[in-house]
Every structure is written in C-alpha cells, then in structure tokens.
Chain A
Amino acid sequence: MNTPAAHARRDALAGFGMDTITLAGPLEARLAAMAEAGFSQVMLGARDLTGHPGGVAGAVAALRASGLRPTGFQVLRDFEGLAGALHGYKVDIAQAMLEMCAALESPVLLACSSVSRHASDDPEILAADLRKLAMLALPLGIRVAYEGLSWGRTINEYTTAWDIVCRADMPNLGAGIDSYHILAARTPLDALDELDPERIFLVQLSDFMWRETQSFEDRMTTARTFRVFPGEGAHSEAVAEIVLRLERLGYGGDYSFEVFNDDYQQLPLATVTGRARRAAAWLREDVLHRAVPLPAWAGSHPPAR
C-alpha cells in the first residue's frame, strides 16, 4: 500500500471515509477493503467492538493494524430529555460508549436526537442534558456531534438540533450533519449557512432512491435499509448543494459515507468500496472541482515519504 500509485489513490480520497455499517463481514475484512480502495479513515460503530471475537481490545487492535484513522464512533441514542432512573441509566450507557470511543482514540462520538416518548420536549432540558454529555466526554478529549434524526420526536431537523447545540454552549459539543436526514425531512438548505463551521464535528453523506419519505416510518425504513452513496440516488443535486454550502461556509472536517443498504450487505466488499470510491470521485471532481493531485512520481518533487 506504499507504492506511489497507492499514495495518489489515497490523496484523491483525502477527506472522505466509509462507515463500517455499509459493509458485511468481519471487521478486519471490512477495514482491509476500505484501505485497499484507498480510504484512510473509517467511521466505526459500537457493534464493531462488541461483536468482535477479541472484544473491544481485539477491535481496537484491528483498527490499529489497518492503518485507518477513526473519523468517529456511533451511536448514542435517546440520551437527552429523560428524567429520574431513566436518565441515570442513560448516563451509564453514555459513559460506557465514551470509554469505547476513547479506546479507539476516536475524536468524535455521534449522538442522535431522541425518539423516546418518555423524553421531555423542553429545549432547555434537552440542552442541559447535552451539556452534561459533553462534560462527560470532555476529560476524555472526545467531541460530541449531535445529529437530528429525521424521525426524532422533538428534534428532527439540523436546524433545531443546532439550536439545542447553541443553547448547551459547550466547546466540545457540535453538530453532526447527515444529508439523509436533511433530504428525508426536506429541510431547506439555506439554514446551513447559519452554522458555525468550527462547530460542525461530523458530516455524513448518503442519498436514497425515491423522491419522498412522508412518514417517520418511511424515513426510518429507508434510512436503515435503502440508502445509497452520494451520486447514486434521487437527490444528487441536493447532496451536491449541501457539500458546496458546507465548503463555502468553511467546513474543513471529514465526510463519511453512512450508507445503510441491505443490497450492499450481500455484495463482495470490493464491489461496494468501488461504489464508495466513485462517490468520492464524483464529489471531489464534479461537485467540488478540486484538482486531483498528480501522483508523487509524476511531479518534480520527490515523494514526501
């Protein structure tokens, strides 16, 4: 993987990564397939660690051996807005997930907005709980990205999620932007311009194949079984606009392809990582018009390493 051609391939994919949830098979095989395709980062899920035959330590060792860096770790669900024993229970869960996140040396924990009917809808209470979550993450050096699920009970758009992030006002609490939820909830894109790019801690990209998802039920089912890579779905123009707006805003962080797709789970790994590469190339060249750097061996300078 250290040939000049491999370097050039990695440079072309810099800033883009895949989610482990897109691929089937053992963690080692999935990580190897991503690295082979030229990706240098990976978004991991808690099940990658708990389902590993070597446990958390085995999964951490697999990540280290792959050479990929962690983009983030997902996902803490239904944390905010609970009271009493339920709140205490969720704090325990959050602490356990933060410890897993720290074991991976992942810089970001993704927390998505609550779907619980037991949760408060008072924005001050939601903000106070996220402030607490960020405080729990703080000594571990972890940043919390709060994402509005499009079927969240109270918070189901990036606009309202951002409002809660601002109310909570913690330096290590920011927004997690997921194109799927923006498209599914049909949230206007112009509000993206209001975000602080320094407080966007993660951007996840995917699309889907039909025009609309009217009900929460539709959104959930589509989200969990039939997302596709950017450039493959019915909303390519909107995905492109999201990325362009974020770039114009000054977002300089990572993009990860969060593509839950039942079909991709049945295809060879290289077939799926090939589609991910194509998505990255579409974003880089056709959307962002970024110059693909010349391979190191083609330039006048010697390879950097």
Chain B
Amino acid sequence: MTPDIDTPAHREAIPASDNPLGMEGIEFIEYATRQPHALGQALEAMGFRLVARHRSREVLLYRQGAMNLVVNAHPEDARVSATEGGAPVISAIALRVDDAGRAHARCLALGAWDVASHARAMELHIPAIHGPGGSRFYFVDRWREFSIYDVDFLPVADADPAPPALAGMRYFGVVQYVGPGRVDDWHTYYERLLGFTPVPAHERFGILPKGRLMRSPGGAFLWQLVEPLGWDDDLDMPQESLQRIGIGVPDVADAVRQLGARGVRFVDSAALHPEDRGALTETVLGGVAFELVLQPRSPS
C-alpha cells in the first residue's frame, strides 16, 4: 500500500489495509469476439469445456478446474474486438472481492471510471470499472455460497459442470501491453485502485521475464506490465490491451506434451525440457495466446 491512500480522505473513510478490496483471485476472464466458435475450438484445445450459455445473450461459459472463461459474442460487447482487426480480445477480468459494492464505490472515489450495467430483469448486476484499452474489471462477491453463473447461465445438457483441469492448469496472471513510457502510470493504477504490490526484480517467473511485475493483494495472481519493443514514438499511441493469460502448471513439459497432443502449438517448443520455467503458445485467431508458467502445486 502507498501511504497516500491511507491518509484520511475527506469524503469517506478509506481504511488502511494491505488488501483494501478483500481480493481473493480471479472469478473469470472474458474474451470478446465475433468468432465465438473459432475461439471455442482454440479454448477446447487448451482443455476448457463449454459448460453453460447465458440466458439472454450470446455469451458462453467455458471451464476447467478452477478456471472460468467467458466468451462474449454479444454484438454490443463483441464490437470491441472489431477494433483489433477482428481478433478476440481479453475484454474483462472479474475479480473476487469481499464486497463488490464497496470495492466499486472505493474505486470510483479514487478516480476509476464506472461502467454502466446492462443487466436485464432478474440478471445479476455486476459492478465494473474501466481498465486498459476497452477492457473492464468486474467485482464479484458471491462466489463462496453460490455461483454467479447459476443466475445468468443455463447449463449445457450432458456437460460435466466441473471438468477437471488439464495438466493441473490454473490462472497464474495476465500480461498487459502498455504504451511507450506508461509502465509507471499503470503501476499506479493497480497499486492505488486495487492494492497490487510490485514484485521485487529478483523474483521472476516464466520465460518472458520483462516488464514490471505486480502481485494481487492476497497473492492469488500476478500482473505483468510490458512495454512492447518496436513501438515508435513518432507513431500514434498503439492500443493498450490485456494481451494474454498466464496459466500456472506444476510441470511445464508435461503440460506442453498434453496440449501438443491436442493440437496446441508452442513457440520454440523443441527447446523445452522438464525443468523449464514456461512456454508460450503460438498466437491463433490473430491475437490469442497463452503463456504456461512453472508453478509448483501448493500443499493445499
């Protein structure tokens, strides 16, 4: 935490805390796309299974293990992806917090932009703020006692509602591309609004250890801010975006082997061996890639 947030604010009391939102990890990650079937195939190759469909919109829920992944092809939302040359984009991250309303109000008080809700009758209104590019951060607090998906989604017939994770995969983090000279800006955004803390430079994970690494409060996942090489100051500011999902696995070589058998191709996969720290899938559909990161299974 930075001390400034903890100074008494004049409009509301913002309590000092290492985890001001009571964050406990990622509830789901959402892609927006106009190609839900093509993306669905790519996700199935990665081990995700279609488990439910939204009641009123063209939105699909994929799952494996503890990872929920939403494919949003609702025309209003999928329009976001039209600006990216038609490639699917990571359009939202839903964060598990103590109290969604309080988390949302705190962020707005600190200068976050509110996202208008489009919930229909009897659907959940999930509060959200604007993130990088056209993305959003949702705040979800109903994940202990029941599932938000039971309200808005209908299960797919005959589908296992809780398919196991392939190769022990689970969400590890998100890589965000930032514009030239923008690492400090976004660092401040995650630090002040959401309570992320920088990871010391000597702690590095995966195969692409560049950029600024931050840890979510509670430590459930990491956030990597990367200023891509080759962006020219003379050109217009490139689109900032949530670029890819990092997936933690206990054994990189085993995961690469299992995924390879399902048709997933890796960048430079020939060079991998068991002690490797990570692997990067080839980009499909013009922008979808996953990064595997070595993450020993926790004792629990």
Q: Is B7 an interface residue (CB 8 A)?
A: yes
User: A131-B4, A141-B240 are contacts. A136–B111 as well, Cβ < 8 Å?
Assistant: yes
* A135 close to B10 (CB less than 8 A): no
- B11 contacts A83, C-beta separation under 8 Å: yes
Contact of A141 among B7, B10, B237 (CB under 8 A): B237
Chain A residues near B185 (CB, 8 Å)? 138, 141, 171-172
Main SS class of interface, A = helix
Bound state CA distance, A134 and B192, in angstroms? 12
The CA of A169 and the CA of B6, in the complex, are separated in Å by 13
In the complex, A10 has a CB within 8 A of chain B: no
Contact of B9 among A120, A128, A172 (CB under 8 A): A128
The answer to whether A139 touches B10 (Cβ under 8 A) is: no
Q: Mark B114-135, 1 if CB is under 8 A from A, else 0.
A: 0000000000000000111000
Judge if A205 is at the interface, Cβ distance under 8 Å: no
Binary CB contact string for chain B from 71 to 86 against chain A (1 if under 8 A, 0 otherwise): 0000000000000000
8 Å CB interface, A130-164 against B:
131-136, 138-139, 141
B189 to A139, Cβ gap below 8 A?
Answer: yes
> Which residues of B242-257 have CB atoms within 8 Å of chain A's CB atoms?
none
By the criterion CB–CB under 8 Å, are B237 and A131 in contact? no
Instruction: Please tell me which one of the listed residues B187, B189, B237 contacts residue A135 in the complex, with CB atoms under 8 A apart.
Output: B189
B148 at the interface (CB under 8 A from A): no
Nearest-neighbour CB distance to chain B for A145, whole angstroms, equals 15
Answer whether residue A24 sits at the interface, using C-beta atoms and an 8 A cutoff.
no
A170 and B179 contacting across the interface, CB-CB below 8 Å: no
| Residue in B closest to A128 when the chains form the complex, CB atoms | B9
Chain B residues with CB under 8 A of A170: 188
CB-defined contacts of B2 to chain A, threshold 8 Å: 169
Task: Please judge, given known A-B contacts A105-B236, A141-B237, whether A135 and B112 are in contact too, CB under 8 Å.
Answer: yes
Contacts of A171 in B (CB 8 A): 184-185, 187-188
By the criterion of a CB under 8 Å from any partner CB, how many residues of chain B are at the interface? 27
Within 8 A of A (CB), among B138-186: 179, 182, 184-186
- Which of under 10, 10 to 19, 20 to 34, or 35 or more describes the interface residues of A? 20 to 34
Closest approach, in angstroms, between the C-beta of B282 and any C-beta of chain A? 30
Which residue of chain A has its CB nearest to the CB of B10?
A125
Residues of A within 8 A of B110 (CB): 131-132, 135
Query: Is A275 located at the chain interface by the 8 A CB criterion?
Result: no
CA distance in complex: A169, B182 (Å): 16
The residue on B at minimum CB distance from A135 is B111
Cα distance, A128 to B236, chains bound together (Å): 31
A66 CB, nearest partner CB in chain B, Å: 16
Residue of B nearest to A132 (CB): B111
Given A105-B237, A139-B131, A131 and B10 touching (CB < 8 A)?
no
**Residues 170-227 (chain B) with a chain A CB within 8 angstroms:** 179, 182, 184-189, 192-193
Q: Which residue of A lies closest to B188 (CB)?
A: A171
Q: Please, which residues of chain A bring their CB within 8 A of the CB of B186?
A: 138
Q: Write the chain A residue with the least CB distance to B183.
A: A171
- B231 lies within 8 A of chain A by Cβ: no
Q: Nearest-CB distance from B61 to chain A (Å)?
A: 27
8 Å CB contact of B7 from A124, A133, A135, A138: A124
Q: Which B residues are in CB contact (< 8 Å) with A141? A: 179, 182, 185, 237, 240
Q: Known contacts A136-B112, A171-B185; can you find 12 more A-B pairs with CB under 8 A?
A: A83-B11, A95-B113, A105-B236, A105-B237, A136-B111, A138-B111, A138-B188, A139-B131, A139-B189, A168-B4, A171-B184, A172-B188
- Closest 6 interchain pairs by CB? A135-B111, A132-B111, A171-B184, A136-B111, A125-B10, A172-B185
A-B contact pairs, 27 of them (CB 8 A): A83-B10, A105-B237, A122-B10, A124-B7, A124-B10, A128-B10, A131-B4, A131-B110, A131-B111, A132-B109, A132-B111, A135-B110, A135-B188, A135-B189, A135-B192, A135-B193, A136-B112, A138-B188, A139-B130, A139-B131, A141-B185, A141-B237, A168-B4, A171-B185, A171-B187, A172-B185, A172-B188
